[in-house]
Structure 1
Amino acid sequence: MSKKNIAILTVILAILIDQISKIYIKTHFYLGEEIKVLGMDWFRIHFTENNGMAWGFEFGGKAGKLFLTLFRLVAVSGIVYWLAQTVKNKIHNGVVIAISLILAGAIGNIIDSVFYGVIFNTPGGREVATLFSDEPYGKFFFGKVVDMLYFPIYQGESFTFFNAIFNGADSWISIGVALLFIFHKQAFPKKQEA
């Protein structure tokens, strides 16, 4: 398989997995609902939403949210260029997959931010959201990012180890960065001296 096809397939599959899981959670779980996966305390599906920054951090209200989304769109353009150059220069498949995963993760969270506000409603209580609602909760560029993966590996009375709740797109970015560390010599080759 060509490097271009590897990149395209990786991006498409990663975005599909991310978006299918988010839409499923949003339309089958009420906000705050949690289940233990296979009865394990350390692996849970916990539905939460945020305005798009890590750990739910927010800055600048609506202007900050718009800035963040526009910044991501610019960053995605740079990642697309980086991926195209990587494919063109026939760099190792591990690097192609790494950059493809980072791109897919960025696109996955952009989709939430740009479109979810106009295609979902915000029900109250123990109701689930409706896809393509007649009464959406927001506007373009002001959607909330869906998070659901929760791994509280250790829970004490006043401390939880790894209390972040994240999604597939976040996972793809983390896996992509880890792969870049593994394949750093191929990703960032030193220029040979003349």
Structure 2
Amino acid sequence: MSIKKASLIIILILLIDQISKYYIKTNFMLGEEIRVFDWFRILFVENEGMAWGAKIPGEYGKLFLTLFRIVAIGGIGYWLWDSVRKNAPKILILCISLVFAGALGNIIDSVFYGIIFNDSYGQVATLFPEEGGYGTLFHGKVVDMLYFPLYGGTLPEWIPFFGGTYFTFFDPVFNIADSAISVGVILLLLFNKTAFPKK
């Protein structure tokens, strides 16, 4: 696969990701949801940290996380360029492209959203508000909206530790960028022998 085709994949994913985030941010208040099906909802949440909302504690935790993501995306970008240069299998280049696009999509939120949007608490956010954004450069929150609560119910009492508690599967709320990363990693695991052929 050529670098041109890989770039087209990345640009397409970035466009879908950023358009969907812009739409949610400028049409939903934080916590607002639309129930599409019982098992699929559009739910607007913001993620200040890593996967599943985990955060690095401390005053500079968010800044450290954003800078780490930027360094990581540089490494992934080099891996993509090197794989194309070495004529690596198409599945490997596709997977790296998906991961790169997803990581870049979330970095855009982390770096810029704090200065280009105002907050979404009890209001719909505005792009480039006159009073300024809700944060500073490198301190933006990642917009998530895809929620698939496939099952929700009380677990049987006989299950150790968790019996009798309410359980939801699948609980995390995510976005298109997260989906691209997940698909890239899953494909890499499923087709690892094709992606990394033994010489």
AA aligned opposite 2:34: I
List 4+ stretches of structure 1 deviating above 2 A. Answer: 186-190
Cross-structure match for 1:46? 43
Residues 153-164 of structure 1: matches in 2 within 5 Å? Answer: 153-157=150-154, 158-164=166-172
Q: 1:150 aligns with which of 147, 152, 165?
A: 147
1:34 and 1:97, CA in 2 relative to 1: closer, same or farther beyond 3 A? same
Write out per-residue CA displacement over residues 88-107 of structure 1, whole angstroms, 9 at most, x where no aligned residue. Answer: 11122221111001000110
Aligned length: 187
Write out per-residue CA displacement over residues 27-56 of structure 1, whole angstroms, 9 at most, x where no aligned residue. Answer: 00110011112xx10011000001131111
What is the CA-CA distance between 1:13 and the residue it aligns to? 0.5
If the length of structure 2 is used for normalisation, what is the TM-score?
Answer: 0.90
AA aligned opposite 2:187: L
User: CA separation in 2, counterparts of 1:76 and 1:107?
Assistant: 7
Cross-structure match for 1:114? 111
Cross-structure match for 1:8? 7
Cross-structure match for 2:160? none
SS in 1 for 2:60: helix
Higher share of residues assigned helix: 1
Q: Percent identity?
A: 61
Cross-structure match for 2:25? 26
If the length of structure 1 is used for normalisation, what is the TM-score?
Answer: 0.92
> RMSD across aligned C-alpha pairs, in angstroms?
1.2
User: CA separation in 2, counterparts of 1:15 and 1:44?
Assistant: 22
Gaps of 5+ in 2: 155-165
AA aligned opposite 1:129: A
User: CA separation in 2, counterparts of 1:97 and 1:7?
Assistant: 7
SS in 1 for 2:34: strand
Question: Is 1:132 matched up with 2:128?
Answer: yes
AA aligned opposite 1:177: V
Cross-structure match for 1:35? 34
Gaps of 5+ in 1: none
